[in-house]
Amino acid sequence: MTENTEQFLVLRLQKGSESAFRNLFDRYRHDIYAYSLSILKSKDLAEEVVQEVFLKVWLNHEKLDAGLSFKSYIFTIARNLAFNNLAKAANEIKLKERLFYKSQTYINLADTRLLEADYEKLKNRAIEELSPRCKLVFQMSRDDGKSHEQIAQELGISINTVNNQISTALASIKKFLSLNGDIVFLFIFLAHI
């Protein structure tokens, strides 16, 4: 892709052109995926980075500078997201280890089964609180294991809409669990997503 074509697409994207966004997405998603995969060593995390990069691009499309390299811009976002994922994973491992070792002295197997059953009930209640569309998108993603692109194609909606629905679902479920459960339920939920 020539720089002029990239600048033209960025100028159109600044004005909200979905076709320009789609064109840029199609041109760079594989490169962003490969770059993220090289850092994260996880296909799922690399796919999430691609989605997050382009979600950030779409949400900030009016602020884009057509004079700057779009490719450099999105690779910088991808690098930052990948490194944030690595840092988050390292912190989660430490947290899980601390919770695991501390909980071993307090929770026996029967208590664990009760806790997991309570968690499932609470999680299902949280999911039931979602709007029908949001619930469907979330379940297709989490229960059926479908990618955001597959969901968008099946439902005839944009990937951006899928991203927004999943973000809304996660925020709603986290809020529900924090209001209706205790911190352990929230940690269990976060560990499962």
Q: Which residues contact 53 (CB under 8 A, 6 or more apart)?
A: 32, 74, 77, 78, 81
Q: How far apart are the C-alpha atoms of 74 and 160, rounded to whole Å?
A: 16
Exposure of 12 in the CB half-sphere (CA atoms within 13 A): 14
The token pair that represents 144 in the structure block: 């059926």
Residue 84: what pLDDT? Answer: 87
Q: Find the helix or strand (DSSP H, E) in which 183 lies.
A: helix 183-192
Kindly list the averaged pLDDT for each block of 10 residues, start to end, along the chain of length 193.
Answer: 75 94 95 91 91 94 90 92 83 66 52 62 82 90 89 92 90 75 52 51
Residue 92: what pLDDT? Answer: 72
CATH of 107-193, one of 1.10.10.10, 3.40.50.2300, 3.30.420.40, 3.40.630.30: 1.10.10.10
Q: For residue 53, give Cα distances in angstroms to 38, 70, 112, 147, 185.
A: 16, 12, 38, 16, 29
Compute the Cα dihedral for 122, 128, 130, 133 and give only its sign. Answer: positive
Residue 14: what pLDDT? Answer: 94
Residue 101: what pLDDT? Answer: 58
Residue 1: what pLDDT? Answer: 46
Does domain 1-106 bear CATH number 3.30.450.20?
Answer: no
Read off the DSSP letter of residue 36.
Answer: H
Could you tell me the residue ranges of all domains in the chain?
1-106, 107-193
